[in-house]
Structure 1
Amino acid sequence: MTEDYAALVRDDRVHTMLYRDPAIFDDEMERIFKQAWIWVGHDSELPGANSFKTAHVGRQPVIVTRDKAGAVHVLLNRCRHRAASVCERKKGKASVFVCPYHGWSYDVDGGLRKVPFADGYREPVDKADHSLIALRTECYNGMIFATFDDAIMPLAEWLGPARKWIDLFMKQGAGFGVKTLGEHRFRFPGNWKIQLENTTDAYHFPIVHKTFLSSLDEDTENLMDVLGQGGWVEDLGNGHSVMVMIPDLIDLEENLDAPIPDRFAALAAELAAEGHDDDQVRRIVRAVGGSGFNLNLFPNVACSMAFFRVLRPVAVNETEIQHIAIGMDGGPEAANRARLRLHEHFQGPMGFGTPDDAEGWERVQRGAAAGDALWVMLNRGVDAPDGRPEPGHEAGDVSAETGMRAAYQMWKRMMTA
């Protein structure tokens, strides 16, 4: 199939079969989601020893844990005896995971602790040979990644130039650090790559999100004129890309002397009344508004302005999306409350943005059923503004489909390796 897969991705288009062929989907789970670094969580979701969360690497359920020494582990959520899952809670604290079927128990690092009625085996059960299966795990700036591929390049190398943008995104902590505030999940009847494309697609914004734009005050509506701010889309290598929509909000520690927007005046007054000095107030308020870019990390997570967007492929025509709001770890309650209200306004299930996006993704999947030999066009883009992208990086204006082309070239590379 390798030659066929190469033929399905051209420089400026991809074949519609990538959205609808179950055999392609099955191969993606093996060749991409088992061979790439997959985002499984944020450091703040494991707040102390024995804390855990459940997640997926591709279609495989895992438990992400922190042991007593502070080390993070990603373990297959499967008892080594008869395959029952050993954890069904989304997150929490536990010093041990016990299989509910036959009582085998495991430490938070995956080590087998106890086998009930062990004398029933002819040969003693070697605990060292029956630990929960551990995936290779590495972290960067609070972001936790795991992989099945022990030979893959180190995470820092995999991320490459994207690390700069992760560091900028994390400035939303305003000096307090970043933590997750809450999340919601939903599924849409469409292929995972449709959502992957959306994160660096500014072209749709003024069309799909007219209702959202009409809900804003005039100054904020002008700020969200993403096609008119001089932004760009940049290929960061390994399928990663960044879409800069508001260049003035790339670095949240700059321009702190700019006037505080009217929409944040009440928040600024509340922070000042709590005793924060003027510099702190300006830094916090600027962080509350979020960064001016979306960072797409191939294949499953985006740092999108002010939240994490995580995709999980379920089937060729079904994808789960997790939106995780972020805030300031130890920062003012008023600031984190404001972050949640902004998140709800666009991303929430009753928000003005995400429901419209999801409708578009679903329509792409439905439309992909029409025609057997048709292509999805990814050829949009003119030159990026002078001096904006890194030298030597492919880039285009903010409405360019540069990020999608980058992701599909990585797709082709991994699927034909």
Structure 2
Amino acid sequence: MYTNEQLADMVKPDKVHRAVYVDPGIFDLEMERIYGRVWVYVGHESQIPQAGDYLTSRIGRQDVILVRAADGKPHVLYNRCPHKGAQIVPPGAGHVDRHFRCPYHAWTFRLHGPMLSAPLRAGYEGTAFDPADEAFWLRRVARVASYRGFVFASLAQGGDDLVDFLGGAKAAIDNLCDRSPVGEVEVAGGVFRVWQNSNWKIFYENLHDTMHAAVTHESSVVAARDEYEASMAGRDMPFVLHIMAGNGEPYQFWEKLAVHAFDHGHGYMEGIFDPGGADRDPTSRAHHESLAAAVGEARAREILGMNLHNTIIYGSGSPHTVFQQFRVIRPVAVDRTLVEIVTFRLKGAPEAVFERAVTYANTINSPSSNVMPDDVELYTRVQKGNRLDGGDWVSMHRYCGTDRDIPGGKVAVNGTSELPIRNQFVAWKALMTEGGAGCGGVA
């Protein structure tokens, strides 16, 4: 077991010890001290529209059930029967009419957890068994909160409320919802699942690592440009090729991007793909018109003018507002991570807007895309390399010491700064050593 002093010594202002990626003991502590305390995204209310609808999810190592109960509210329960410990429902989504029924011995429970009954009650007479005792209920997660339909849960009784925890990152959720003419989104379509043979923190770091794009994704950039030159030169580049080729912008492009870091390890960066202005792209024009009809021309331009790429909600994953994605990051082992990608439909927006989001998901985020495998390959190489004795430290030096203060965080002076990675480890260090969900300000 590491002492707090040893853990703190692994994070320097400009570097981090490689053990944080490869030591199973550190991973065990992360599940307790990070995932056992912070708010973690468990699902969207649109996935459980009716009472009795449920969706299984995960918080660290804990399998949970997100369910809409009879009171109309979302609840999060541990997926465990208090009798023999059997999982109440299998992984996935489903519906139960009025109660949960354990498939092992038919103990039944109300949708929000209290026990209803057990067969042959006479067998419990004279014992401590009591359905009114919470020890015999489906255990509820300590805290549950929903922000604009995005449901988060925390295993800890205390700590910041959800809005304070999200801080500056909630602007991305607001913008995603505000892009709908009625201010609401819903999960639509299936879920992509990508297994990565790497530590969960590596993906978070890569989300705002602008230096890797042209190098890691060189093959897909070249393929997109070659296809364009061979058959479409002189015309507007099709959307699919545009979003593939965008990773190949020169360093000067990435240096100009705005990168923000907020308390608790969160952050976002300026968008790198312009889906098309309202004056030249039919889908964008139709979207703009539908939104302007609902909120007015000025407000529509303000909403659609906010172009964010990957947002980081540390401990949950990465919403992408422009193309309506959420990549949910689930740690499984020190060298094993599950990423689940869901796509949202903007309620009231033209269907073409959703179709464009699906195209983006298939082209960039799917397991069979031309882009995602590049990242997964490099994450694996990072994981393997950090097991070796070729050095003990991982560099975070780029533009270290130059970041500018903003309310609730910092902004990088250069879009290629490693500020987001340093910021994540400020939060990591605070949670791992101070033990509070309210820890994690930007250093």
**TM-score, length-normalised on structure 1?**
0.86
Aligned positions of 1:66-215 closer than 5 A = 66-94=68-96, 95-121=98-124, 122-123=126-127, 125-128=129-132, 129=134, 130-135=136-141, 136-175=143-182, 177-181=184-188, 182-214=190-222, 215=224
Residue equivalent to 1:234: 260
Report how far residue 76 of structure 1 moved.
Answer: 0.3
Q: Distance in 2 between matches of 1:118 and 1:226?
A: 72
Offset, 1:247: 9.5
AA of the residue aligned to 1:148: L
Which piece of structure 1 moves more, 7-16 or 117-126? 117-126
Check 1:304–1:3 CA distance in 2 against 1; reply closer, same or farther (3 A cut).
same
Cα RMSD for the two superposed structures: 3.2
Give a deviation string over 1:219-272, Cα, whole Å, max 9, x none.
5368663851621221111111112244978xxxxx97x4223xxx4x479x69
Q: Deviations over 1:203-225 (max 9, x none)?
A: 11121223443426665368663
SS at match of 2:360: helix
Decide which of 60, 63, 66 is 2:62's aligned counterpart: 60
The partner residue of 2:27 within 6, 25, 28 is: 25
Counterpart of 1:259 (choices 257, 279, 297) is 279
What is the letter of the counterpart of residue 123 of structure 2? G
Q: Is the CA contact (8 Å cut-off) linking 1:138 and 1:155 kept in structure 2?
A: yes
Deviation at 1:287, TM superposition (A): 9.2
Give the 3 Å change call, closer, same or farther, for CA 163–125 of structure 1 in structure 2. Answer: same
Partner of 2:420: 403
Q: Which amino acid aligns with 1:179?
A: E
What is the distance in 2 between the residues matched to 1:150 and 1:67? 21
C-alpha deviation, 1:8, in angstroms: 0.4
Aligned residues: 401
SS of match in other structure, 1:48: coil
Residue 357 in 1 paired to residue 357 in 2? no
Q: Distance in 2 between matches of 1:210 and 1:289?
A: 29
Moved more, 277-286 or 193-202: 277-286
**Kept after mapping to 2: 8 A contact 1:302/1:310:** yes
CA distance in 1, matches of 2:22, 2:263: 26
1:295 equivalenced with 2:298 (yes/no): no
- In 1, Cα distance between the equivalents of 2:375 and 2:300? 29
User: Structure 1 CA distance, aligned partners of 2:32 and 2:86?
Assistant: 22
- For normalisation by structure 2, the TM-score amounts to 0.82
Which residues in structure 2 correspond to 1:265-280 (within 5 Å)? 265=282, 267=283
Residue matched to 2:231: none
* Secondary structure at the counterpart of residue 190 of structure 1: coil
Q: What is the identity, as a one-letter code, of the residue corresponding to 1:170?
A: C
Q: Distance in 2 between matches of 1:24 and 1:200?
A: 24
Aligned residues of 1:239 and 1:408 also touching (Cα < 8 A): yes
2:62 partner letter: Q
The letter of the residue matching 1:324 is V
Q: 2:43 matched to 1:47? A: no
Question: Is the Cα–Cα contact under 8 Å of residues 52 and 65 in structure 1 kept in the other structure?
Answer: yes
CA distance in 2, matches of 1:384, 1:28: 29
CA distance in 2, matches of 1:312, 1:6: 24
Give the 3-state SS of the residue equivalent to 1:350 in structure 2: coil
Q: Matches of residues 324-403 of structure 1 in structure 2 within 5 Å? A: 324-371=342-389, 373-381=391-399, 390=406, 393-396=409-412, 397-403=414-420
Contact residue 118 and residue 124 of structure 1 kept, 8 A: no
**CA 1:278–1:3 in 2, change beyond 3 Å: closer, same or farther?**
closer
In structure 2, the CA distance between the partners of 1:156 and 1:198, relative to structure 1 (3 Å rule), is same
- 1:331: how far off? 3.8
Instruction: In structure 2, give the amino acid aligned to 1:67.
Output: A
- For 1:401, give the aligned amino acid: E
- The Cα shift of 1:289 comes to 12
| Aligned-partner SS, 1:173 | coil
Q: Kindly provide the amino acid, as one letter, of the partner of residue 332 in structure 1.
A: P
Cα distance in 2 for partners of 1:286, 1:392 equals 22
Q: Deviations over 1:318-338 (max 9, x none)?
A: 111111122223543333223
Aligned-pair identity (%): 30
User: Where in structure 1 are there 5+ consecutive unaligned residues?
Assistant: 250-254
Distance 1:315 1:89, change over 3 A: closer
Kept in 2: contact 1:248–1:292 (CA 8 A): no
Query: Residues 331, 117 of structure 1: CA spacing in aligned structure 2 closer, same or farther, 3 A cutoff?
Result: farther
How far, CA to CA, are the matches of 1:81 and 1:292 in structure 2? 48
Deviation at 1:290, TM superposition (A): 9.8
Query: How far apart are residue 185 of structure 1 and its match?
Result: 0.9
Any idea what SS the aligned residue of 2:71 has?
A: coil
Q: 1:52 to 1:331 in 2, by over 3 A?
A: farther
Note closer, same or farther for the CA distance 1:295–1:384 as it changes in structure 2 (3 Å cut): farther
The separation in 2 between residues aligned to 1:384 and 1:324, in whole angstroms, is 36
Distance 1:235 1:60 in 2: 28
What is the CA-CA distance between 1:118 and the residue it aligns to?
1.6
Are the aligned partners of 1:239 and 1:406 in contact in 2 as well (CA < 8 Å)?
Answer: yes
1:285: Cα distance to partner? 12
CA distance in 1, matches of 2:302, 2:408: 31
